[in-house]
Homo-oligomer: A and B are copies of this chain.
Amino acid sequence: MIVCFGEAMVRLAPPHFARIEQCRGFDVEVGGAELNTAAGLVRLGREATWVSALPDTSLGRLVANRVREAGVGTDHLAFTTDGRCGLYFLEFGASPRASSILYDRKQSSISQVKPGSSSFWHGKKWGTFNWGEIFDGATWFHVTGITAAVIEDRDVLSEALSAARGAQVPVSVDLNYRSKLWSPDEAGRVMAGVVRGAELLIAGEADAENLFGVKGENFAEVAKQLADRFGVKHVAGTKRSTPLVWRNNFGAVGYANGELHETPTYEVEIVDRLGAGDAMASGIIHGLLDGDFLKGLQYGAAMGAIKHTIPGDLPWIDKAEVEATMTGQGLRIKR
Which A residues are within 8 Å of any B CB, using their own CB? 12, 15-28, 57-59, 61-62, 65-66, 68-71, 84-85, 87, 89, 91, 93-104, 106-107, 178-180, 242-247, 266-271, 273-274, 302, 305-306, 308-312, 314, 316, 321, 325, 329-335
Residues of B within 8 A of A96 (CB): 266-268, 302, 305-306, 309, 325, 331
Beta-carbon contact of B19 and A333 below 8 Å: no
Closest chain B CB from A110 CB (angstroms): 16
In the bound assembly, the distance between CA atoms of A107 and B89 in angstroms comes to: 18
In the bound assembly, the distance between CA atoms of A21 and B101 in angstroms comes to: 23
Residues of B within 8 A of A308 (CB): 94
Given A28-B24, A84-B106, A271 and B17 contact (CB-CB distance below 8 Å): yes
Beta-carbon contact of B332 and A98 below 8 Å: yes
Tell which of A61, A98, A306 has the most Cβ of chain B within 10 Å: A98
Q: Which 8 A-B pairs have the closest CB atoms?
A: A69-B69, A20-B58, A100-B334, A94-B269, A94-B309, A21-B61, A97-B309, A95-B269
Contact of A331 among B28, B68, B98, B325 (CB under 8 A): B98
In the bound assembly, the distance between CA atoms of A21 and B266 in angstroms comes to: 24
Given A95-B266, A268-B95, A25 and B22 contact (CB-CB distance below 8 Å): no
In the bound assembly, the distance between CA atoms of A16 and B16 in angstroms comes to: 9
